[in-house]
Amino acid sequence: MAYFIQQLINGLTLGAIYGLIAIGYTMVYGIIGMINFAHGEIYMIGAFVSVVTYLILSALGLGYVPLVLLVMLMTSMLFTSVYGWSIERVAYRPLRGAPKLAALISAIGMSIALQNYVQLTQGARVKALAPVISGGITLMESDGFTVHLSYLQMFICVLTVVLMVGFSFLIDKTSLGRQQRACEQDRTMASLVGVNVDRTISMTFVMGAALAAVAGMMVTLYYGVVDFYIGFVAGMKAFTAAVLGGIGSLPGAMLGGVLIGLIEAFWSAYFTIEYKDVAAFSILVLVLIFRPTGLLGKPEIEKV
Amino acid sequence: MSESTNPIRAARSPLKTIVIDACLTAFVVLILAIPFIGLKSDSVGTSLQLVTRWPLMFAVIGAMVAGRVLLNLWRMRPSAAPSAKGGKGVGATLSAWGGSHIKMIGVVAFVAAVALPFMPFSNRYVVDIATTFLIYVMLGWGLNIVVGLAGLLDLGYVAFYAVGAYTYALIATQLGWSFWLCLPLAGLFAAMFGIMLGFPVLRLRGDYLAIVTLGFGEIIRIVLTNWVDFTKGPDGISGIPRPSFFGAVFSRSAPEGVTTFADLFGIAYSSQHRVIFLYFLILALAGVTNLFTLRMRRLPTGRAWEALREDEIACRSLGINPTNVKLSAFALGAMFAGFAGAFFSTRQGFVSPESFTFIESAIILAIVVLGGMGSQTGVVLAVFALVILPEWFREFEQYRMFLFGAAMVLIMVLKPTGVMGHREPTIRLHPPGKPGEQPEVVQ
Amino acid sequence: MNAMEAMLNTEDDALLDVQHLTMRFGGLTAIDDLSFTARRREITSIIGPNGAGKTTVFNCLTGFYKPTVGCLLLKHPQKGDYFLERMEGFRIAQVGDVGRTFQNIRLFPKMTVLENLIIAQHNRLMKASCFALAGLFGLPRYREAEKAAVDKARFWLDRVGLIPRADWEAGNLPYGDQRRLEIARAMCIDPCLLCLDEPAAGLNPRESLDLNELLLSIRDEQGIGILLIEHDMSVVMGISDHIVVLDHGRKISDGDPEFVRNDPTVIRAYLGEEEGDDDHA
């Protein structure tokens, strides 16, 4: 039981991270109908920016943990959003209206280029970071097994919830959110009623990148190691999460992320850790076969 | 990019536009560059340290701004509008010419390919590169069936390549069967995997299919890496037998009861023989793939593939079973990947999961899309651009993949429909150019 | 005696029997308990204001939607009876020989006109090519079958006046040609029932008249039943043998053109209770 609860906690933490990345996929897919293949790299870039920020802060001798976290969060969101914006501008905007596959290839190319750009500029070696937040609380003890909830895990979960609440507010209540939803429904119509479609799409990329940056920072803190290759696998799983939850649905992305996190945690705990990715993908395939629109996606009526 | 098309902004004086644009570029690049080029985290011992590279960063920013200014100048040159159209026209004409002279081009290319190993300039290196070239051409043609003709987005094509390679590697090392026996088996196995995967997932919409195939590719790789008892895991399988020429082996001396290739033809032994033999082998395999695809295009199955790519709903209304048509494309595409995989195995003598990463799938897919979906000639051109050109830039090894990715973006942005966008009809009522109204060129 | 014979004939001629067809999407009832019969050698029109559920009837008939309730009995003159609601979409065209066109034309735009018509004969050619094997080796059996397919395509191209443009990409054809090509394509599957979804939409009056003639000749020469959705009343009243009027998913009238034209319920549905809005008619 204790072991189970521990895995639950680990899975939720991991799921929160996947969920934040998945939102970027789902939003971009919702608005321009393409898989933003480079989104995983955005997350990786977010992680690197937070590493660099941390190094600057420690070079400056700043040690007050909440301040460090806040600055890391802000800088990684800021810098990574600019990456998100530029990618859209360079690789996707010229291809709007082109065959779907062209945009996908462009995205894959962008992903490869970014990965290697970071490898070139930051080196191929794994970056290891000293833990910023340590310690935690012991929740329960049974059968000689302690359930441990670290402050870091709490931080990740709380931050995710806060971001989700803020983000839902942004989408539901603000004019930007309304424009974004309008473009999702019908881009031509939205532009006719005066929505600046280009800007809205750019903002979508910026928002997605900012959330991915947070995920990147969390991973940096959580695992303490970062390399240029983390984007691919995480991106793939986050996309799986988005599809699992029903692509285009924001709560779905979060739910899908949490599910993927849990599946991974429990599979690693009770079966084999090597095959945890296989488990995640197999479940994706099963969900798609039996519920092709994902868990929270709206059923689609075929237009004939 | 849209500034220049925006009428309000275009009304500004060109110089002002360029300057503002340059400043914006500088600002954006500055933000992009600070955390990656300006600052670098270096591992020193166990801890990380910050290194600054400001001169490099400003050099990069300068280069980007200069590039942007030049781009804008080029776009605003007085003759911009008409010549852009003219350029498109030339491209289309070229592609149409290529389309209508396809037979001639094919024959010339084939003759050149056969003659290549005997050219005075060809050495082991040239033949080796040509072999690699042909492997990718074959893979591109195989995937062209799936993506180019049937329009199914497959991001895990390399999985079938891996299945073929491991089939041959395992059977040959465990059971000792010959290459010629294993080759069809490898294709068959890969096709079976294609059907196994395709059956449940082919009903899915395009993007879902993409992600599932991507996942499948990863699953195969993970299994190959972790099932150590069966596949020897990440170390890979080595000592895979090389193919023989109808029983004649390629070595200096042969064991009892086996002749060597050199003895069979009464020529002096040369290590070059095997390289050339492998080259002809892949040339033949690729040739078969091409002939098969060209033939299939003119058969009901092939036409149904293309029809399915165009409109699945219309296909159903005509009584075409979409699942069967998709499965046939998926399985046949997989089969050719299987053949290519077996060849890869026997050529390298060694396979490991590392050769079958997602990046390979991405390259093959890029070949097909860049070539111009469904165009066989396009695939050859695209392989040249994506596999052979980078080969010449070996000195820039560390920049290679970065440039490769950037080139993919650039090519797509410049030519989203691929180099050979022209589609040749599979059947005509009127002979080309003769009676019947000719379609006006819509430009 | 004569009346008796006529009755027997109509019994025999019934081609499609729709009974209690109901289709719901979530809470929305698109079709509500619709029953009607379409006969061979007759043009049956389904008319009604926008959103009346006409296209939904077609989509149920051709297997794109599964009806919530109801029974769609196809009495194929050669092959026997089929319950269409139980068949998979493509089987309805493959086995039941029901051809259809679409409101927003669905051709294969990058393929040529001729190829469009050859693809419609896929199943026959597939058999002739022994699932590509005979074709792959160029056996005469397949070559003959392909020649026959081209001849059939040529016949229909001639009928719709597209012979000169046979090698055009279908997507480059003018709108009216695309409409006619789609009908020709549906005819190439040798249907016993042809469902046309607004074939006259976007045609000029001259093309519209040609279309009338084409449909009448298909009815008379091929002896098949035609099911027609159309807004253009000159087409509907000019060529229909039988008209079914839908409003909000319900059948409000059913009879020959003369009867429907004078039916007060129909007039009310089209013109509204008080305000006149005769745009539809």
Among A130-139, A241-250, B52-61, B331-340, top mean pLDDT goes to: B331-340
* Contacting C residues, span 24-53, partner chain A, CB-CB under 8 Å: 25
**Min distance B204 CA to chain A CA atoms (Å):** 7
More confident call, B77 vs C261: C261
Among A160-169, A194-203, B331-340, top mean pLDDT goes to: B331-340
Question: How many contacts (CB atoms, under 8 Å) link B and C?
Answer: 141
Among B29-33, B122-126, B391-395, C126-130, top mean pLDDT goes to: B29-33
The string over B406-417, giving b where at least 16 C-beta atoms fall within 10 Å of a residue's C-beta and e elsewhere, is bbbbbbbbebbb
Lowest-pLDDT range of B31-35, B73-77, C14-18: B73-77
The residue of C55, C59, C101 whose CB has the most chain A CBs within 10 angstroms, and thus the best one to mutate to test that interface, is: C59
Tell me which of 3.30.465.10, 3.40.109.10, 3.40.50.300, 3.90.1150.10 is the CATH number of domain C16-97+193-273: 3.40.50.300
Q: What is the mean pLDDT of residues A188-211?
A: 89
Domain positions in chain C are 16-97+193-273, 101-190
More confident call, B48 vs B67: B67
User: Could you report the per-residue pLDDT of B119-169, keeping only the tens digit for each?
Assistant: 777 788 888 889 999 999 999 999 999 998 998 888 899 999 999 999 999
pLDDT over 50 at C160, yes or no: yes
DSSP letters for B296-355? HHTSHHHHHHHHHHH-HHHHHHTT--HHHHHHHHHHHHHHHHHHHHHHHHHHHSEE-GGG
Q: For all residues of chain A together, what is the average pLDDT?
A: 86
Q: What is the mean pLDDT of residues B364-383?
A: 87
CB A101 within 8 A of CB B369: yes
State the Cα–Cα distance between residues C254 and C247, nearest whole angstrom. Answer: 12
Query: Taking the mean position of all CA atoms in its chain, how far away is CA C225?
Result: 8
CB A44 within 8 A of CB A231: yes
User: Could you report the per-residue pLDDT of B237-261, keeping only the tens digit for each?
Assistant: 888 888 777 767 777 777 776 777 7
pLDDT over 90 at C236, yes or no: no
Cα torsion through C20, C26, C28, C30, rounded to 10: -40
State the Cα–Cα distance between residues B254 and C115, nearest whole angstrom. Answer: 56
User: For residue B311, which residues of chain C lie inside 8 Å, CB to CB?
Assistant: 106-109
The single-letter code of the amino acid at C276 is G
pTM: 0.85
How many H-runs (helices) and E-runs (strands) does chain A carry?
Answer: 11, 4
User: Could you report the per-residue pLDDT of A19-41, keeping only the tens digit for each?
Assistant: 999 998 888 888 888 888 899 99
- Whole-number pLDDT of residue C117: 93
- Whole-number pLDDT of residue B94: 62
User: For residue A83, which residues of chain B lie inside 8 Å, CB to CB?
Assistant: 32
pLDDT over 50 at C280, yes or no: no
C107·B437 Cβ contact <8 A: no
Let me know if B386 is exposed, middle or buried by CB neighbors in 10 A (0-12, 13-18, 19+). buried
Confidence class for position B89, pLDDT limits 50, 70, 90? low
At C83, list the tokens: 């319950």
- In the three-class reduction of DSSP (H, G, I as helix; E, B as strand; rest coil), residue A258 is classed as helix
Q: What is the mean pLDDT of residues B336-362?
A: 91
DSSP H/E element including C245? strand C242-247
B399·A51 Cβ contact <8 A: no
State the Cα–Cα distance between residues B110 and B365, nearest whole angstrom. Answer: 24
- Whole-number pLDDT of residue C5: 47
Q: Which of A207, A120, A195 is nearest to A171 (CA)?
A: A207
The string over C108-138, giving b where at least 16 C-beta atoms fall within 10 Å of a residue's C-beta and e elsewhere, is bebbbbbbbbbbbbbbbbbebbeebebbbee
CB A72 within 8 A of CB A50: yes
- Whole-number pLDDT of residue B138: 94
CB A214 within 8 A of CB A163: yes
Please report how the helices A39-60 and A197-223 are oriented relative to each other, as an axis angle in degrees rounded to 10.
60
State the Cα–Cα distance between residues B425 and B96, nearest whole angstrom. Answer: 12
- Whole-number pLDDT of residue A75: 92
Domain positions in chain B are 7-75, 103-414
Q: What is the mean pLDDT of residues A90-99?
A: 87
In DSSP terms, B40 is beta-bridged to: B51
More confident call, B100 vs B263: B263
CB C39 within 8 A of CB C64: no
- Whole-number pLDDT of residue C231: 84
Q: What is the mean pLDDT of residues B2-25?
A: 69
User: For residue A49, which residues of chain B lie inside 8 Å, CB to CB?
Assistant: 35
**Min distance B149 CA to chain C CA atoms (Å):** 12
User: For residue C55, which residues of chain A lie inside 8 Å, CB to CB?
Assistant: 304
- Whole-number pLDDT of residue C276: 42
The string over B298-328, giving b where at least 16 C-beta atoms fall within 10 Å of a residue's C-beta and e elsewhere, is bbbbbbbbbbbbbbbbbbbbbbbbbeebbbb
DSSP H/E element including C146? helix C140-159
C55 CB near a chain A CB, below 8 Å?
yes
Let me know if B141 is exposed, middle or buried by CB neighbors in 10 A (0-12, 13-18, 19+). buried
C-alpha separations of C238 from C182, C211, C256, C258 in Å: 22, 11, 11, 11
A304·C25 Cβ contact <8 A: no
The single-letter code of the amino acid at C43 is I
Q: Predicted ipTM?
A: 0.88
B311·C100 Cβ contact <8 A: no
Quote the percentage of chain B above a pLDDT of 90. 23
Residue partners of A248: CB distance under 8 A and separation at least 6: A26, A29, A30, A184, A297, A298
DSSP H/E element including A88? none
Residue that the structure tokens 């895995």 belong to: A7
Q: Which of A87, A90, A93, A91 is nearest to A43 (CA)?
A: A87
User: Could you report the per-residue pLDDT of C126-147, keeping only the tens digit for each?
Assistant: 888 776 677 777 778 888 888 9
C59 CB near a chain A CB, below 8 Å?
yes
At B231, list the tokens: 């596949």
Cα angle C42-C47-C52, degrees, rounded to a multiple of 5: 140
DSSP H/E element including A3? helix A2-32
Residues in chain A: 304
User: For residue C64, which residues of chain A lie inside 8 Å, CB to CB?
Assistant: 302, 304
B318·C189 Cβ contact <8 A: yes
Q: For all residues of chain B together, what is the average pLDDT?
A: 82
Confidence class for position A55, pLDDT limits 50, 70, 90? confident
CATH for the stretch C101-190: 3.40.50.300
Backbone phi and psi for residue C99, each to the nearest 5 degrees, phi listed first:
-100, 155
SS3 annotation, B352-414: CHHHHCHHHHHHHHHHHHHHCCCCHHHHHHHHHHHHHHHHHCHHHHHHHHHHHHHHHHHHHHH
The single-letter code of the amino acid at C24 is R
C-alpha separations of B139 from A274, B295, B368, C266 in Å: 29, 18, 9, 62
- Whole-number pLDDT of residue B384: 86
A29 CB near a chain B CB, below 8 Å?
yes
Lowest-pLDDT range of A245-259, B23-37, B389-403: B389-403
Confidence class for position B35, pLDDT limits 50, 70, 90? confident
- In the three-class reduction of DSSP (H, G, I as helix; E, B as strand; rest coil), residue B93 is classed as helix
